[in-house]
Amino acid sequence: MTVTETKLKGCFVVEPKVFTDIRGYFFESFNQNKFSELIGRQIKFVQDNESFSSKGVLRGLHFQTGAYAQAKLVRTVKGRVLDVVVDMRKESPTFSKHFSIELSEDNKRQLFVPRGFAHGFIVLSETAIFSYKCDNFYNKESEQGLRYDDPTLGIDWKLPTSEFIVSVKDLVLPKLSNITL
């Protein structure tokens, strides 16, 4: 496994070593000891989540605050998504900056999203199964979100907006300038 830090401090792209032969492939999708060593700190994941979505479904940008903030290790099991994170750490030199990466069943990349980041994705393939580990349990009262089309973020979601399928909940999320952290 190789780990590369993105332009956003503490956010890492994780690429597993994939072994292929005539039978197919094998890879270790997670190893606690290797992962902790490569990112330079201990992370204990306590919850796994999975979603199934069709092309154009945009989920996000979500985050939890305070004692319920979550770090995530995300990956696409089937299909292709554009995964996007936004640094919401007020004290960070990259506050309000974003990073995006295509995660797919073919490239098997994962993204480690530290606490203090908003996270979302859009499905680029006909369907996708998206899976992620969280280091803290979900708490509805601590959930916040950020509007996916906030012009100050300048996120290119790689699909025309006419193809977006967005929940009512995500359509009413505030823009960055209206969020209190």
Residue 175 is given by DSSP the state P
Q: What are phi and psi of 173, to 5 degrees?
A: -65, 150
Which of 25, 62, 98, 119 is catalytic? The answer is: 62
Q: Which of 21, 60, 54 is nearest to 163 (CA)?
A: 54
The three-state secondary structure class of 32 is helix
62 catalytic residue (yes or no): yes
For 180, how many CA atoms within 13 A lie in the half-sphere containing its CB? Answer: 0
List 25, 68, 119, 132, catalytic entry:
132
Residue with tokens 């979550």: 70
62 CB burial (10 A radius; 0-12, 13-18, 19+): middle
Q: Taking a C-beta distance cutoff of 8 angstroms, is the pair 114, 170 a contact?
A: no
State the DSSP H helix or E strand holding residue 49, giving kind and residue range, or none if neither.
Answer: strand 47-54
Q: Which residues are catalytic?
A: 62, 132
